[in-house]
Structure 1
Amino acid sequence: MNWKNELNSRILIVDDIIENLELISQSLQEAMPNCIIYQTNSVNNAIKIAQEMHPDIVLSDWDMPLKDGIDLINELKKDDKTKDIPVIILTGINCDSNSLKVALEAGAVDFLKKPFDIIELQARIHATLSINNEHQEYISSKERELIQNALNLEKSIEFLVKLKSKLSQFKQNANLRKKDQADIDEMLELIEDRTSYDNWNQFELVFQSVHPDFIKKLLKVYPELSMADLKLCVLIRLNISIKNIAYILHIKPESIKVSRSRLRKKMRLEQSQNLVSFLSQF
């Protein structure tokens, strides 16, 4: 079986029985010699390891004292840093179909009964990591598409701004009938609406399809953020330059710098903290 894609994977094994930890760890190390394996016999330690090391996958026993495998999943799901780590539940007691339902509804990606064949476990890990990698690649491609949409939006707005300027100049310099002036005024209003509303709404819909909870999470921590702040956060999150943000929001680059500074104060961030990296956590 080919494990090339998972050679450098980080695997966290959680089981209250030390012998099980050693058996699973040794077997996986033989099959995937370059993978990094963390192991612990308690859920509390597992949570700390997950937060610090961010493993690619967690293999957890279900039946453990104090906190069990389902408790582990629930704790991981509470933290944005660990909520997307896939968990495979291993169990020798809760083996019926209802238990499977409970594990999957809690957020486990797979469920394996003990005693299990180590080859089957390796295959489940391989499948889970492959799906997870594909998901990450999909998110990355959507990120690139989103940034391209933002740049297209910038070009569209730049064109509309120039068109608006030309129409305004034409209206001032030409000897127009009242009807023609009214028509130009109507066109100018349409351009203004287009630059300030339609394009942003379209962009926001695409952004939310990639990062559906970004704004919700921001507002939960910083409820005082205005709509202008949220727009700025979205564009900074995509690492778009100040110049391009200015085009997209139809304001001067100097105003963007001032807005960024105000945003830092609202979020109580030190100057040393990178704003893009900070917003990427949401």
Structure 2
Amino acid sequence: MQISENKTILIIDDEPSNIQIIYNILQSSESSFKIISSSSSTLGLTIAMKAKPDIIITDWEMPEMTGIDIIIELQKSETTKEIPIIIATGVNMSSLDLKYALDSGAYDFVRKPIDESELLARVNSALRIIDYYNIKIEIERQLEKIKSEKNQNEIESKKRELLAKTLLLIKINKLNMAFNQELERIKHSDSKSDCEVFNFALNYTDEILKNGNESIWNELEVNFEQINEKFYTNLIYKFPSITPNERKLCAFLRLNLSTKDISSITFQTVRSIEIARTRLRDKFGLKGAETDLHTFLLGF
């Protein structure tokens, strides 16, 4: 596979003859390159910023700005800092010069006069790095996508679990209330109201209903916060005067529970819940019926 196919190479050199030599070498290679060039270093920098070529071959010493200056400028931008730049030089050839170029951000260097084999080796090496880097980025993107989808699936699963648990708790609570109401009815009838076992059962169900309210809410709240981590934080930040009971009601409304279901869980009358909902709408500045509370709370 030709990994360097259809790559763009920018040549910057103040000597047009050097540009032509590099151009001819690249054109004669087996790979297909799109080649652009500039004999002005400042114009070359502008082209690099706009065109974002795959690789840049630049002279070191130029009148307007040096090849090192170009590297430094390109590294300031997130969109160009990863472009590999090959420095072509026939003057600064000492080991200290070459170290300076590499430390400044040059990917590689090639000596002048340009040797065809050396230039192509440097270019192909740089382009392989580009392809491997692009593959790495794509793999990371795909992994992030998979992770995001997995997290979303887990969230949806937790939402279904929370809804099922909520409905079950509502059902249990309704049964407890119905059972307690039946015991109360029997208590006030002519049957076994003075029976010790009966009185124990009545007291026991009273205790269940008193403690059940708080335990049901605690369990729901733990599950709710696992799914909606920033809900309370965002809500309190925007409406700092909101009370604990109003926050609790907001959680139920965000779960899209009906007024009747909320009444069953909180042991409040339907009318009390309706009044609380109206107060919430006023506090949130919701007028009319254009936006319901559930839709509004989904934004937190």
* 1:188 aligns to 2:220 (yes or no): yes
Residue in 2 that maps onto 1:117: 115
| CA deviations over 1:187-232 (Å, ceiling 9, x no partner) | 433322322349xxxxxxxxxxxxxxxxxxxxxxxxxxxx9xxxxx
- Conserved in 1, the CA contact under 8 Å of 2:58 and 2:86? yes
In structure 2, the gaps of 5 or more residues are: 177-204, 231-236, 238-292
**Structure 1 residue 128: deviation in Å?**
0.7
* Matched letter for residue 222 of structure 2: L
Residue in 1 that maps onto 2:60: 62
**Structure 1 residue 130: deviation in Å?**
0.7
Rounded to whole Å, the distance in 1 between the matches of 2:299 and 2:215 is: 37
Please provide the CA RMSD for this pair: 3.1
* Superposition TM-score, scaled by structure 2 size: 0.60
**Structure 1 residue 186: deviation in Å?**
3.9
Residue in 1 that maps onto 2:278: none
| CA deviations over 1:241-282 (Å, ceiling 9, x no partner) | xxxxxxxxxxx9x779999xxxxxxxxxxxxxxxxxxxxxxx
**Structure 1 residue 158: deviation in Å?**
1.0
| CA deviations over 1:51-86 (Å, ceiling 9, x no partner) | 333211000111111200011112222233322221
- Conserved in 2, the CA contact under 8 Å of 1:87 and 1:110? yes
Rounded to whole Å, the distance in 1 between the matches of 2:74 and 2:121 is: 24
In structure 1, the gaps of 5 or more residues are: 199-226, 228-251, 260-282
Rounded to whole Å, the distance in 1 between the matches of 2:112 and 2:160 is: 69
* 1:74 aligns to 2:72 (yes or no): yes
Residue in 1 that maps onto 2:245: none
Residue in 1 that maps onto 2:14: 16
- Conserved in 1, the CA contact under 8 Å of 2:59 and 2:67? yes
| CA deviations over 1:37-58 (Å, ceiling 9, x no partner) | 1111122111222233321100
Deviates more, 1:33-42 or 1:62-71: 33-42
Rounded to whole Å, the distance in 2 between the matches of 1:186 and 1:102 is: 64
Which residue, out of 123, 126, 144, partners 2:124? Answer: 126
Rounded to whole Å, the distance in 2 between the matches of 1:141 and 1:7 is: 21
- Conserved in 2, the CA contact under 8 Å of 1:167 and 1:184? no
Which residue, out of 25, 32, 35, partners 1:34? Answer: 32
Bigger radius of gyration: 2
Rounded to whole Å, the distance in 2 between the matches of 1:181 and 1:96 is: 81
* 1:83 aligns to 2:81 (yes or no): yes
- Conserved in 2, the CA contact under 8 Å of 1:109 and 1:128? yes
Rounded to whole Å, the distance in 2 between the matches of 1:83 and 1:193 is: 41
Residue in 2 that maps onto 1:46: 44
1:124–1:185: structure 2 CA closer, same or farther, 3 Å change rule? same
1:255–1:57: structure 2 CA closer, same or farther, 3 Å change rule? farther
Number of residue pairs matched? 205
* Superposition TM-score, scaled by structure 1 size: 0.64
**Structure 1 residue 99: deviation in Å?**
1.9
* Matched letter for residue 196 of structure 1: N
- Conserved in 2, the CA contact under 8 Å of 1:6 and 1:32? no
Residue in 1 that maps onto 2:164: 166
